[in-house]
Amino acid sequence: MGQDHSHDHTEPPSDPALRVKALESLLVEKGLVDPAAIDAIIETYETKVGPRNGAKVVARAWTDPAFKDLLLSDANTAINSMGYAGRQGEHMKVVENTDTRHNLVVCTLCSCYPWTVLGLPPVWYKSAPYRAQAVSAPKGVLTEFGTTLQEGTKISVWDSTSEMRFLVLPQRPEGTDDWTAEQLEDLVSRNSMIGVELALTPAELKVIQAGESS
Amino acid sequence: MSDTTTHFCKNLPNLPTDEEGPVFAEPWQAQAFALAVRLCDEGHFTWSEWVETLSQEVKRAQAEGDPDLGDTYYNHWLNVLEKMVAQKNVVSPSDMTIRKEEWRQAYLRTPHGRSVEL
């Protein structure tokens, strides 16, 4: 495998993934399982798949400038250095939000997603409206998620492919200067790493935590 | 959680879980889990058949030196799933092998970024 970037084929998934795919398609064909029922079960585990260590990667980048430089120039090496292995043949690129630029990730053709760092894609990420609007009207998408950017901020939309997957490095929220990387992790939502939201502010986190404990 | 899932969690001590239920290292594992749950729900096999067969498979693997620290659990799960559907004459092993190869070929001939279809 290695870094084969030819575009005339798609890299087949791992052997067990192919076996499951084979079995599921045979069972569906025979009318023995309903694909919608399978998808419904999988959706309930949307947040339970993969190491989901994206928040740790972001928090480290916020607190360790050398790591951040490496992450932006060679995301695979940086992420592997934290002991998180991606799948072979999947190249990760991390794009950084700044005061003047906001990044949004989409996969217009299918639903490529960096599940090794973010888990399974949320349902809306795979939906046709999101895939279309993220490209044609990214600002509208952000508004739907309740996200407002500073006046004049430019939006870059990154279209993932099966070989190049993007992860957004959100901006570190204000008022967190004395926070440790571990504390900062809680501010890094999955949606902020897709780019539809910003990282939580300490005040927003407090509200969420109060809601969970009540 | 469905009754089937609750039953699996209660009776399969090695099943990787967190405080809320099953967790998966890779997407195919969630898919294999969902298939077993549905096949049970649809009556193709019972909870206890599943638990019994899977426990035996894990024991057999451990006896052969698999430390099973959670990372191989779903390989056993998948082996049992294939074995059970074959035993019940739901899908034959050769159909599974052929179909797997068809999917592999489909990936290899699909230009990248397109959806892969047989």
Is B10 at the interface with chain A, CB within 8 A?
no
pLDDT digits (tens, 9 = 90+) for A138-164: 999 999 999 999 989 999 999 887 678
B80 and B24 assigned to the same domain:
yes
B65 and B50 assigned to the same domain:
yes
Q: Note the pLDDT of residue A112.
A: 67
Is residue A19 situated within a structural domain? yes
A156 and A109 assigned to the same domain:
yes
B19 and B69 assigned to the same domain:
yes
Distance from CA of B63 to the nearest CA of A (A): 22
Q: Which of A7, A13, A48 sits opposite B112 (nearest CB)?
A: A7
A37 and A120 assigned to the same domain:
no
pLDDT digits (tens, 9 = 90+) for B35-61: 999 999 889 989 889 999 999 998 888
B29 and B61 assigned to the same domain:
yes
Q: For A146, left (φ over 0), alpha (ψ -120 to 50), or beta?
A: left
A72 and A145 assigned to the same domain:
yes
B100 and B78 assigned to the same domain:
no
User: What pLDDT band is residue A5 in, cutting at 50, 70 and 90?
Assistant: very low
Give dist(CA A2, CA A55) in Å, integer: 27
B59 and B30 assigned to the same domain:
yes
A28 and A75 assigned to the same domain:
no
CB neighbours (10 Å) of residue A65?
Answer: 9
Is residue A2 situated within a structural domain? no
Q: Name the residue range of residue B27's domain.
A: 3-87
Q: Is A189 a catalytic residue?
A: no
A39 and A60 assigned to the same domain:
no
A63 and A135 assigned to the same domain:
yes
Q: Note the pLDDT of residue B11.
A: 84
Q: Which of A19, A50, A51 sits opposite B96 (nearest CB)?
A: A19
pLDDT digits (tens, 9 = 90+) for B59-116: 888 888 887 666 788 999 999 999 999 998 889 999 999 999 999 999 888 876 566 7
B18 and B55 assigned to the same domain:
yes
Q: Name the residue range of residue A198's domain.
A: 54-213
Q: Note the pLDDT of residue A13.
A: 80
B47 and B74 assigned to the same domain:
yes
Instruction: Provide the CA B82 distance to its chain's centre, in angstroms.
Output: 8
Q: Note the pLDDT of residue A111.
A: 60
A103 and A153 assigned to the same domain:
yes
Strand pairing class (A101-106; A154-159): parallel
B111 and B65 assigned to the same domain:
no
A149 and A112 assigned to the same domain:
yes
pLDDT digits (tens, 9 = 90+) for A157-195: 998 876 788 999 999 999 999 999 999 999 999 899 999
A25 and A102 assigned to the same domain:
no
CA dihedral sign, ordered B26, B31, B32, B33: positive
Beta bridge partners of B34: none
Is residue A203 situated within a structural domain? yes
Q: For A175, left (φ over 0), alpha (ψ -120 to 50), or beta?
A: left
Q: Which of A6, A33, A161 sits opposite B113 (nearest CB)?
A: A161
Q: Is A127 a catalytic residue?
A: no
B101 and B81 assigned to the same domain:
no
Is residue A208 situated within a structural domain? yes
B80: nearest Cα among B103, B61, B64, B98: B61
B14 and B46 assigned to the same domain:
yes
Residue tagged active-site, from A14, A81, A110, A127: A110
A112: nearest Cα among A94, A84, A91, A81: A91
Question: The tokens of A184 are what?
Answer: 């900062």
Average confidence (pLDDT) over A56-76: 96
Count of domains for chain A? 2
Is residue A199 situated within a structural domain? yes
Long-range contacts of A40-44 (CB under 8 A, 24+ apart): A41/B2, A41/B30, A41/B33, A41/B34, A41/B37, A41/B38, A42/A120, A42/B27, A42/B30, A42/B31, A42/B34, A43/A123
Give dist(CA A191, CA A207) in Å, integer: 17
Count of domains for chain B? 2
CATH code where residue A205 lies: 3.90.330.10
B51 and B13 assigned to the same domain:
yes
Give dist(CA A200, CA A147) in Å, integer: 11
Residues of A with CB under 8 A from a CB of B: 6-14, 16-27, 30, 32-34, 37-38, 41-42, 45, 48-51, 109-110, 115, 120, 161-163
Give dist(CA B27, CA B53) in Å, integer: 23
